[in-house]
Amino acid sequence: MESLLTAIVVWLSANYSLPASFDHPRIKFVSAVEMNAPVKGGNGSQQQPDISATQTSSDIISFYSNEAKAIYLIDGWTGKTPAELSIVVHEMVHHLQSAGQLKFACPQEREELAYKAQERWLAQFGEHDLLRDFQMDPFTVLIKSKCFY
């Protein structure tokens, strides 16, 4: 896993304005119930400001915790597909944003670069993109990455 994280850091720092921090986050595997419990509130809103989550159209499949400096992946993640690897790319963007102490107007604004990097990563593998692999259309990505208050 360390080699994978190093390769992703090199790729992200070469392609985006992110620091090349090799102080890698911890990787933790959790059940679907645990994955969704700490992040979603009763109304589906994100409760904890230090958490950035990746989700399909309805379920959270990973998240990064600034406080724990950890990426949480859903049990069953193997890293054998471009889509699964792209989840780590997305969360590593958040780790590098945190390592670089980058500031954002709101938590959602952090997602713009994470989704852009994830989409670009997927595009390297042919017929993969956020829509096909995660049911995330461009409008949904836009809404999830803008401050609306």
Determine the average pLDDT of the residues in 125-129: 94
φ and ψ at residue 20, rounded to 5 degrees: -90, 80
- Residue 134 belongs to some domain of the structure: yes
- Residue 17 belongs to some domain of the structure: yes
Question: Regarding predicted confidence, which is higher, 120 or 60?
Answer: 120
- Residue 149 belongs to some domain of the structure: no
- Residue 63 belongs to some domain of the structure: yes
CA dist 22 and 99 (Å) reads: 10
Would you state the structure tokens that stand for residue 120, as one six-digit string? Answer: 């670009």
- Residue 80 belongs to some domain of the structure: yes
Q: pLDDT tens digits, residue range 71-119?
A: 999 999 999 999 999 999 999 999 999 999 999 999 899 999 999 999 9
Is the separation of the CB atoms in 64 and 96 below 8 Å? no
pTM of the model: 0.85
Residue type, 73: L
Q: pLDDT tens digits, residue range 32-49?
A: 888 877 554 433 444 443
- Residue 106 belongs to some domain of the structure: yes
* Domains of the chain: total: 1
Q: Would the pLDDT of 50 be above 60?
A: no
The boundaries of the domain holding residue 56 are 2-144
